[in-house]
Structure 1
Amino acid sequence: MSDRGRPRLWSVDEHLGDILGAVRPLEPIELQLLDAQGCVLVEDVTVPVALPPFDNSSMDGYAVRTADVAGASEEFPAVLIVVGDVAAGSGELPEVGPGEAARIMTGAPLPPGAEAVVPVEWTDGGTGGGAATAMRAASTAPEGASGEVRVHRAAEARAHVRARGSDVQAGDLALEAGTVLGPPQIALLAAIGRGTVRVRPRPRVVVMSTGSELVQPGEELAEGRIYDSNSFALTAAARDAGAIAYRVGAVGDDAETLRATIEDQLIRADLIVTTGGVSVGAYDVVKEALSSVGDADEPGSGVDFRKLAMQPGKPQGFGAIGPDHTPLLALPGNPVSSYVSFELFVRPAIRTLMGLRDVRRPTVRAALSADKALSSPAGRRQFLRGTYDAEAGTVTPVGGSGSHLIAALAHADSLIVLPEDTTSAEPGTELDVVLLG
């Protein structure tokens, strides 16, 4: 309490600090490659074998000795005896001697004796010089030969050859700890022969909204009811942050029902997020249901509800519930308040659970592009929706400051930050801008 007997106002930074101080990264586990997509690597991965593991062709064509095609032209092609075919995955390889070539496919190993690959477009495709020429070639060709090929262009040594280890060498660092595994990283792990990898799993986040006025989208909207948008927005936001998110249908204004629903969800939750019911109204069921949760014999158990010096999103709750002390964040119910609170507090918590180093959205400085000055209440950090122009270095407000204006939120890609000590900002003022995209 303050000197005047009023509840304390917590700053945004204090509240976030308490959350990040209590949330710990999830324990690492070993996962199959595809199951590890989106997870954070907890170990450095080195290359066990060179990639590619052998010299191979980057073209369909013919493997040749460079001396045999030196000076070759359309008028005076080099005529070579074809001693065999080399396909990708071939084991036994024909040896290419003087005056010889081997037909080779993309990705196939370079046969012994060959020094370069000439693309098939530089040849006659192996049609040779007619029946008589083919008969002469067959009569003088070594065993296993299959006709001849005319090469119309010279090739330098190693032309169209992918060298062994040209991608990565054995012992190289393939991926370092802290890397988020996306499709290219999964590809690299598979290419170097890793079937499993040690990662922090994606956190499981359960999202639920509260309020007897909420109706599921697609159902009939009766008088005095509204569609539940918050749980959809926050579930999508949790997935965007990297979590596996589960949406629970809206819970009515009944504390016992809410408490039972939360307890049922603990089995599949690393983090629980509620929206609505955290203010001072008669039906603020989240406070009613969770204020008494916790075991006095277990430090750190229970949920603390507080008011923050911010707009929107003044009422907030945070704590730990259940036998495993599962973190719970209780957000306000107005759509913009809920989403802004998610970006400021829940997203960093999710990314901390993942073990990421950088848990916050990027922030840039931009000049305010507006028709008139923006106003902000003294002592509050205000977050306004905006559109950011990186090329011009400006940000433009979208919609008003009302915490119910969800249409404006849908067209914003950033949050304009007006600090606690700023009550107005003239056009052209440089402000912090949180990038949401």
Structure 2
Amino acid sequence: MSSAATRPAGPDHLWSVDEHLEDILATVRPLEPIELQLLDAQGCVLVDDVMVPVSLPPFDNSSMDGYAVRVADVAGASEEFPAVLEVVGDVAAGAAELTPVGPGQAARIMTGAPLPPGAETVVPVEWTDGGLGEGPVGGMRARSIAPEGAAGHVRVHRPAEPRAHVRAKGSDVKAGDLALEAGTVLGPPQIALLAAIGRGTVRVRPRPRVVVMSTGSELVQPGEQLGSGQIYDSNSFALTAAARDAGAIAYRVGAVVDDADTLRSTIEDQLVRADLLVTTGGVSVGAYDVVKEALSHVGDEDEAGSGIDFRKLAMQPGKPQGFGSIGPDHTPLLALPGNPVSSYVSFELFVRPAIRTLMGLDDVHRPRITATLKADKALSSPKGRRQFLRGAYAGGEVTTVGGAGSHLVAALAHADALIVVPEDAESVEPGSEVEVVLLG
């Protein structure tokens, strides 16, 4: 993996959102494919097309418990004049040897059992007496076509159309069909299909391993007592959950104090289990030098191409960002701001697409739509910055949720969209059409 800082830009260069994202996606590469057992492949992306080796179902079979019969033998059957058929045997699911059904005969059949030779249709057991009859009934009220001396009989009270209640061979998929195409994310239904066509393993790109850590001496683990000037660490929980939602296997590391040696040591320890590292905090003015020092000497610093580039982006929230690669394997690292809203918006815009790229997906972005802004007054936006406001979307309209402050976690919890205000707009009037990023 080459260095992320591919654009000629000085420390005062203001990167656009699109430039920063383009740089990330040009650097991050999909993980190498591996062969996995089916259940281990859940959530992974299929690398190759999978063809159907055997038709589903592989044989004609019954969709009901009942009797396999010939159509002519039950034609005209009724409650008053049932067809009385000789029962020649039972057919259970998985049966290998099948007794043929001839004229005047029936085979008791179970759901999923193969249709025996000679049978043309299945009558559900509810249309019969359940095989309780012992032969032709007296008074000639039953239309018996069973041979004399038959031991077991069934009375059928309704006619059946040809191939009624029969699942045809290949009615689901046929041998040679495309079962799943490359790029498919394997969920429970896809795992079921692979198992049904006999695949025990499958070639996929593994789910990326993402390590998330917060930085800041003021951070306290939830559940512990807050001291003076301290706050609970919410960012690492939010970003770990977001990484899992994106499809990754995510690991949360407890908050790291603002000390370069401690941060460097922690990151080096995590490299062994990380395909992507995400830090939050310590990238703005004040902690900038400590984080820069720590991330400049992580892993094998002699490896060409490693290093983190700290940038300023023309966006709000989330102006300070860092991106690059570290360690001997050039593991990508994204350094996000520490304010809760800034870090989450940055995750959605930059980290989530990186995770989806590692997975090997073609479409790595959240869906974007156009919606009508529903508001009491115009929205203001800083000139030259692309602003992302929290919003709630419904029925083609979007409303703002909370204020523009990057610390408002409660408002974030009630938002399901981001309202995008472009760089060249300083205000947006109610009723205007706006771009909306849908979350979840």
Q: Do Structure 1 and Structure 2 share a fold, with TM-score over 0.5?
A: yes
CA distances 1:144-195 after superposition (whole Å, capped 9, x unpaired) = x6x1111010011111000111111111110111111111110000000000
* Aligned mate of 1:345, from 343, 350, 353: 350
Pick aligned residue for 2:223 from 198, 218, 222: 218
Rounded to whole Å, the distance in 2 between the matches of 1:256 and 1:345 is: 27
How far apart are the structure 1 equivalents of 2:116 and 2:178?
30
Deviations 1:65-105 (A, max 9, x none): 00100000111100011111111111111111111101111
Rate the CA distance shift 1:85–1:423 in 2: closer, same or farther, 3 A.
same
Match of 1:88 in 2: 93
Residue in 2 that maps onto 1:11:
16
1:15 aligns to what SS in structure 2? helix
TM-score using structure 1 length: 0.94
SS of aligned partner of 1:289: helix
Residue 61 of structure 1 aligns with an amino acid whose one-letter code is G
Cα gap change, 1:250/1:284 in structure 2, threshold over 3 Å: closer, same or farther?
farther
2:142 is aligned to none
Paired position in structure 1 for 2:149: 140
Q: Is the 8 A contact 1:376 1:424 kept in 2?
A: yes
Aligned to 1:432: 435
The answer on 1:69 being equivalent to 2:74 is yes
**Residues 374-403 of structure 1, C-alpha deviations (whole Å, 9 max, x = no match):** 0000000000000001x2x11000000000
- For structure 1, the 5+ residue unaligned runs are none
> Which amino acid in 2 is paired with 1:317?
G
- Tell me how far apart the structure 2 counterparts of residues 272 and 243 of structure 1 sit (CA, whole Å): 12
Counterpart residue number, 2:236:
231
**Displacement of 1:280:** 1.2
TM-score normalised by structure 2 residue count: 0.94
Moved over 6 A (4+): 130-133
Which residue in the other structure is 1:122 paired with?
127
154-163 or 297-306: bigger deviation:
297-306
Distance verdict in 2 for CA 1:6–1:44, change over 3 Å: closer
What is the one-letter code of the residue matched to 2:392? T
Q: Secondary structure at the match of 2:243?
A: helix
State whether residues 28 and 332 of structure 2, in contact with CA within 8 Å, keep that contact through their aligned partners in structure 1.
yes
Q: Secondary structure at the match of 1:300?
A: coil
Distance 2:326 2:17 in 1: 23
How far apart are the structure 2 equivalents of 1:121 and 1:294? 73
Q: C-alpha separation between the residues in 1 aligned to 2:393 and 2:413?
A: 14
Per the alignment, residue 6 of structure 2 pairs with none
Which residue is equivalent to 1:170? 175
Unaligned runs of 5+ in 2: 1-9, 139-145
Offset of 1:224 from its aligned partner?
1.3
Give the distance between the partners of 1:188 and 1:172, measured in 2 at CA: 13
Change (3 A) 1:165 1:331: same
* 1:271 and 2:276 matched: yes
Q: Does the residue aligned with 1:205 lie in a helix, a strand or coil?
A: strand
Match of 1:22 among 24, 27, 42: 27
How big is each residue's C-alpha offset from its partner over 1:121-146, in whole Å with a ceiling of 9 and x where there is no partner? 1111111158988xxx89722xxx6x
Q: After superposition, give the CA deviation of every residue in 1:340-385 in whole Å (9 maximum; x if it has no partner).
A: 0000000000000000000010000001000110000000000000
Residues of 2 paired with 1:268 and 1:258: CA distance?
Answer: 16
Instruction: State, as a whole percentage, how many aligned pairs show the same letter.
Output: 84
Do the aligned residues in 1 keep the contact of 2:315 with 2:387 (CA within 8 Å)?
Answer: yes
**Alignment length, in residue pairs?**
425
- For residue 4 of structure 2, what is the aligned residue in structure 1? none
Given the alignment of the two structures, is residue 379 of structure 1 paired with residue 384 of structure 2, yes or no? yes
**Among 406, 410, 414, which residue is 1:407 paired with?**
410
Contact 1:77/1:153 (<8 A) preserved: yes
Task: Please say if 1:317 is aligned against 2:322.
Answer: yes
Q: 1:189 aligns with which of 178, 190, 194?
A: 194
Q: CA deviation at 1:298?
A: 3.7
Match of 2:106?
A: 101
The Cα shift of 1:288 comes to: 2.9
SS of equivalent residue, structure 2 residue 365? coil
Paired AA for residue 422 in structure 2: P
Q: CA separation in 2, counterparts of 1:355 and 1:87?
A: 45
| CA contact 2:258–2:287 (8 Å) conserved in 1 | no
Residue equivalent to 1:31: 36
Aligned to 1:354: 359
Q: Secondary structure of the residue that 1:140 maps to in structure 2?
A: coil
Instruction: State the AA in 2 paired with 1:397.
Output: T
Aligned match of 1:290: 295
Q: Give distance in 1, aligned partners of 2:300 and 2:148.
A: 94
Question: How far apart are residue 286 of structure 1 and its match?
Answer: 2.3
Q: Which moved more, 1:24-33 or 1:91-100?
A: 91-100
1:253 to partner: Cα distance: 1.0
Displacement, 1:297? 5.4
Question: Which amino acid letter does the alignment assign opposite residue 429 of structure 1?
Answer: S
CA distance in 1, matches of 2:304, 2:289: 26
Distance in 2 of aligned mates of 1:349 and 1:81: 68
